[in-house]
Structure 1
């Protein structure tokens, strides 16, 4: 197996590109994986099922199809849908009233249910799956240093790999000419 520095740099570059593409696919275009939204979990209220730092993919679902045991993401009371605040908790009871469907929710790591019921119109969707610890990478990618790393590091590695490849070929050619 040929493990010269050029091969290692190209392998590292491929790994960085794959991670970058994964971030873009999951969070910029969640429909590619059959969902509508992607979020990063910030607290441990759903541990051990979903931990802080995990990424979650959330799919729209009609309120009538949400049942006890589903994990939903919703806009908590006191916040508007334009706010960035979201809560992801498990449905522990569904209440059908004359004015609509309401959900009683609770974080798996919490002892008590959440105060107040969640009206169906505040539900964003149901968690389809989570990607452990991937949220840390997504959060980092949103920082200035992360954006710089996503662009500069792969470009630098590509440049070094190409220079090494060109210089290596030149040295081999010189050796053959001798």
Structure 2
């Protein structure tokens, strides 16, 4: 009974590791265009540091229709960093649209408006802690532990089961 439970736990750990890596590497499988790791606490508690946000790209021509106040967007800041903040105000003029953004955990709105050309996309959802797991998995120790550990444990468990089955057969086999 304990062995069976251990096998299930190991199989689920391996499956979880695979799902995590596949979703992050191929965000299209979960309906997103890109997956980005959050490296600051500006959006806490809604999106904690170390989360992965799954972003649906928005074409510049679609920004005005798709993005509204309250949406969380990813945009290119003035210093060419990707930033994920909430839209707190939308300004529409005849020929342009711009947004005032703010991190949920920040006291003030961002100093510069975000123009339609800067918008990368809209955040569909986030997965807390996943960024930390991916960062750890990208180290040699993390890869060994998170990927090869469950694989080797499952193989070892199966070999032990085969050995025990063979031993039981020989003990019950009258010669």
Please state which band the TM-score falls in when normalised by the shorter chain.
0.7 to 0.9
> Within the alignment, does 1:108 sit opposite 2:109 as a pair?
no
1:40 touches 1:139 (CA, 8 Å); kept in 2?
A: no
Which residue is 2:53 aligned to? 56
1:36 touches 1:57 (CA, 8 Å); kept in 2?
A: yes
Which residue is 1:82 aligned to? none
Q: SS of the counterpart of 2:41?
A: coil
Which residue is 2:166 aligned to? 170
The Cα shift of 1:108 comes to 0.6
Which residue is 1:93 aligned to? 89
For 2:129 and 2:100, locate their aligned partners in 1 and report how far apart those are by CA, in whole Å: 27
For 2:120 and 2:140, locate their aligned partners in 1 and report how far apart those are by CA, in whole Å: 29
Would you say how many aligned residue pairs link Structure 1 and Structure 2? 170
Per-residue Cα deviation, 1:117-143 (whole angstroms, up to 9, x for no partner): 112112111111111222221221222
The Cα shift of 1:97 comes to 4.3
> Within the alignment, does 1:140 sit opposite 2:136 as a pair?
yes
Q: Taking structure 1 as reference, are residues 160 and 8 closer, same or farther at Cα in structure 2, changes over 3 Å only?
A: farther
For 1:97 and 1:173, locate their aligned partners in 2 and report how far apart those are by CA, in whole Å: 82
Which residue is 2:16 aligned to? 19
- TM-score, scaled to structure 2: 0.87
For 1:142 and 1:123, locate their aligned partners in 2 and report how far apart those are by CA, in whole Å: 29
- TM-score, scaled to structure 1: 0.86
For 1:88 and 1:114, locate their aligned partners in 2 and report how far apart those are by CA, in whole Å: 11
| Aligned-CA RMSD value | 1.8
Structure 1, unmatched stretches of 5+, are 80-84
For 1:155 and 1:19, locate their aligned partners in 2 and report how far apart those are by CA, in whole Å: 12
2:100 touches 2:112 (CA, 8 Å); kept in 1?
A: yes
Q: Taking structure 1 as reference, are residues 105 and 47 closer, same or farther at Cα in structure 2, changes over 3 Å only?
A: same
Q: SS of the counterpart of 1:49?
A: coil
Q: Which moved more, 1:106-115 or 1:50-59?
A: 50-59
Q: Which moved more, 1:36-45 or 1:142-151?
A: 142-151
For 1:137 and 1:30, locate their aligned partners in 2 and report how far apart those are by CA, in whole Å: 16
Equivalent of 2:122 in 119, 126, 135: 126
